[in-house]
């Protein structure tokens, strides 16, 4: 695995952990109330993100393309829907990590690594 892919995966996992922490804090604070949109959408989205990051690490070009295709709509949804609930520092931190990671996943070297036929085991 090239270093840029390893670095991108590390940044994606850090951003994911930050999101999970924020989701856990939100769920804890909303303990007595009914589930809201953030809780209902956040949990399956976090699980899907974890699966996609894992699959990218396993050299799945399809997972990489899904992440790239979902990046812009996900950013817009997060900005519009959850902006009131997300501290700007955390949001900026996650956006910086994810944006940099996605940029690294788009480099020609990364594309070559994902498109190569894996060696038989």
Instruction: Yes or no: say if 74 and 15 are a contact pair by the CB < 8 Å rule.
Output: no
pTM confidence score: 0.76
Counting Cβ atoms within 10 Å, is residue 62 exposed (0-12), middle (13-18) or buried (19+)?
A: exposed
d(CA 78, CA 15): 14
Q: Under 8 Å CB-to-CB from 79, ≥6 apart: which residues?
A: 91
Q: What is the pLDDT of residues 51-61, one digit of tens each?
A: 999 999 988 88
Q: What is the pLDDT of residues 79-118, one digit of tens each?
A: 665 566 655 677 778 878 888 898 898 888 888 888 875 5
CA 51 to chain centre: 10
Q: What is the pLDDT of residues 7-45, one digit of tens each?
A: 999 999 999 998 898 888 878 877 766 777 777 788 888
What pLDDT is recorded for position 85? 63
Neighbours of 80 (CB within 10 A): 9
């Amino acid at each position: 695995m090239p270093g840029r892919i390893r670095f991108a995966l590390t940044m994606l996992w850090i951003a994911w952990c930050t999101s999970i922490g924020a989701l856990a804090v939100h769920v804890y604070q909303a303990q007595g109330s009914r589930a809201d949109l953030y809780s209902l959408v956040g949990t399956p989205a976090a699980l899907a993100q974890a699966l996609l990051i894992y699959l990218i690490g396993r050299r799945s070009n399809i997972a990489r393309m899904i992440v790239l295709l979902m990046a812009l709509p996900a950013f817009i949804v997060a900005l519009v829907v959850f902006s009131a609930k997300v501290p700007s520092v955390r949001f900026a931190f996650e956006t910086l990590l994810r944006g940099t990671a996605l940029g690294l996943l788009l480099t020609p070297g990364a594309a070559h690594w994902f498109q190569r036929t894996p060696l038989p085991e």
